[in-house]
Structure 1
Amino acid sequence: MPILNNKKMAFGGFVLLLCTVIVGVIIGIAPNTKLSSSKIKIGVSVTPLSSPFLVAEQLGLFKQLGLDVTLYPCSGGAACTQLMLDRSVDYATASESVVMFQSFARDDLSLIVSFVESDNDLKLLTLNPVNIRSVLDLAGKKVGIIKGSASEFYFDSVLISNNAQHIEVEKVYLQPKELVPSLLSYRVDAISAWEPMGFEADLLSVAEVSNLGTKGVYQLSFNLIARSPYLEFVGDEPVRLLRALDMSIEWINSNPESALTLIAKRLEIPLNQVQWSWDDYLFRLSLGNSLLSNLQLQSRWALESGHVSGSPPDFRELFYSYPLQQAVALRN
């Protein structure tokens, strides 16, 4: 079922006022301006990381730029990407880890833009009664991990950063929905998990939860991707899409408290769940060397770990930079 629905959501008069200001001042398009309609479907991960899309939808920014957008909910970037590959949606949101793995399997992906980054979204969690006080204490322990994902890359990176890559650890491969229950039931001693699993563990656990991870050891990015053949026939649609996201991010950064409230209501989650990680998010449109280096680093890890085989892709060929260049030019 699409995220977009027919329920009337009462966000107060400030949304209408700010929407008018955005349309009249930031967009620079008169209310009666007609743009050619473009009907598109986007697979969006159901998480505050997707805030630029959710805000753009709620403020009507897509419509103002002639885009009839339907947002489809996905339980993570891999699921969103699969919807796109199945051609159920036109675009998808995904982490750079998903992009990296898919690039070994196919050559028809285009990475259009990165719209959010976080250096603290993944965590290595344990319960205090297990009596694990440091990464070295994980020797001989069981760690719940999502195989071949950012979860596993982050865990291996934490081991290296703590000079603990030599210790014997039993990796227990689980599905995302199994991580927190496995930790709380002591079936594993720790989990390498992304948000909101950290929030869920802290909320549901009777015992105190400790984070053994290292902030900054891994830079998560969420990105907008599409199939290259699709982009060949859509004209300036990606430019308008990025323009709407750019204005959405400007509104988010200028109105953080209102954004928190809007996102909590839009995702139908408690406000404190959004607040839990909000300060760790950097919302901006980018497509640069940092992302390229991250993709290259992860591809080397995937090859050395045996998750993929063959020659690493030239990730520079994935970058479809024209829409971002045009969107930035329209901003100035």
Structure 2
Amino acid sequence: MAALLCFFALGAASWLFTQHNWRANFHIPEVRIGVSLTPLASPFLIAEHLGLFEKHGLKVSLFPCASSMACTQLMLSRDVEYATASDSVVMFQSFEQSGLALLVSFVESDNDLKLLALSPSNISEVSQLEGKRVGVVKGSASEFYFDSVLIANNHKSLDVEKVYFQPHELVPALLSFRVDAISAWEPMGYKADLQSTSTVKNLGTLGIYQHSFNLLSTTPYLEFAGQEPVYLLKALDEAVEWINTYPDEASRVIAKRLNIPLNQVKWSWEDYVFRLSLGNSLLSNLQLQARWAQAEGLVGGAQPDFRRLLFTQPYQQIVALRD
């Protein structure tokens, strides 16, 4: 009899354990995130590598995108719930979409955009671009940065011909001398330096543009997401801490994950400031870019209230947990 009772007790315990695991697995939120294939998205790739999403009760699928715009379009079409996006994409989309929600910035760089020229062009400073052709990506951080460099060097009225290209066309245009300079983001600077037989010069001005990568979602989704965004930011916060503690190992992981040379990652790695933030510097950057886009006729309508774009509660909870 005792043996029979023990058998039933073990069977009941086994059933309860199975049911518990089934329920736990059943209730794990499945989160889809569009992630740009760039080292700027390292916190997401490291969080995946270290199992930090699972640690915080999330089942995350990272959907690779070729660009911030592609990731954002995936989110707007509801193929993913979240997207990584550059500040310029956030700004432009804010004029078109009323339901965007920006949860956090996770990396910044004041040296990701560069104004590049080759030594045979004999251009060593911005004033020498007078009458020259400069390749840019229309209505993007590339064009904004170039205009900012002209203003910062008191050459706003410089007679320069902008030649518009798709991003993948910029470096070939420079190397074939179809243009005299290009305004480009990384890794285009790395590729130009690698492929050119001439010295590549950076005519840009360090620090005039704070490029950031941000986590986007939509207000209608977040209103019913509960604590999910908090858990997501917890995982990212731990990933950022790990990156900053083990930068060399992190860069090796990213090179392997993106299947790119380690030297390419290292080229810009020290320029990246990985941290979670959500504050006035981001707002000022968005407002400045918005005024530029309006002046250039790239957007229509009134400037959005970017303060309403910020979905602050999850980040505030993360900050409170740090104290």
Question: What is the TM-score with the length of structure 2 in the denominator?
Answer: 0.91
Question: Structure 2: where are the runs of 5+ without partners?
Answer: 1-23
Counterpart CA distance in 1 for 2:26 and 2:257 is: 27
* Counterpart pick for 1:66 among 57, 62, 81: 57
Matched, 1:320 2:311: yes
Question: Structure 1: where are the runs of 5+ without partners?
Answer: 1-32
Report deviation, 1:36: 4.4
Matched, 1:259 2:250: yes
**CA 1:255–1:181 in structure 2 vs 1: closer, same or farther (change >3 Å)?**
same
Alignment of 1:269-284 (within 5 A): 269-284=260-275
Contact 1:240–1:327 (Cα < 8 Å) also in 2: no
Matched, 1:210 2:201: yes
Contact 1:35–1:66 (Cα < 8 Å) also in 2: no
Equivalent residue letter for 1:131? N
Matched, 1:300 2:288: no
State the SS of the aligned residue for 1:214.
coil
Counterpart CA distance in 1 for 2:128 and 2:78 is: 46
Counterpart CA distance in 2 for 1:79 and 1:39 is: 21
Report deviation, 1:66: 1.1
Instruction: Name the % identity.
Output: 66
* Counterpart pick for 1:144 among 131, 135, 138: 135
Alignment of 1:223-234 (within 5 A): 223-234=214-225
1:155-214 residue CA offsets vs partner (Å, 9 max, x unmatched) = 000000111111111111110110111111111111100000000000011111100000
Matched, 1:236 2:224: no
Aligned to 2:177: 186
Counterpart CA distance in 2 for 1:322 and 1:92 is: 18
1:106-155 residue CA offsets vs partner (Å, 9 max, x unmatched) = 21100000000000000000111111111011111111101111100000
Contact 1:36–1:66 (Cα < 8 Å) also in 2: no
Counterpart CA distance in 2 for 1:241 and 1:180 is: 36
Matched, 1:44 2:35: yes
Counterpart CA distance in 1 for 2:73 and 2:159 is: 34
Matched, 1:126 2:106: no
Counterpart CA distance in 2 for 1:331 and 1:42 is: 25
* Counterpart pick for 1:104 among 61, 70, 95: 95
Equivalent residue letter for 1:39? E
Structure 1 runs, 4 residues or longer, greater than 2 Å off: 33-36, 328-332
CA RMSD of aligned residues (A): 1.2
Report the count of equivalent residues: 300
- Give the structure with higher Rg (CA): 2
Matched, 1:113 2:97: no
State the SS of the aligned residue for 2:149.
helix
**CA 1:243–1:35 in structure 2 vs 1: closer, same or farther (change >3 Å)?**
farther
Report deviation, 1:35: 10
Counterpart CA distance in 2 for 1:38 and 1:64 is: 13
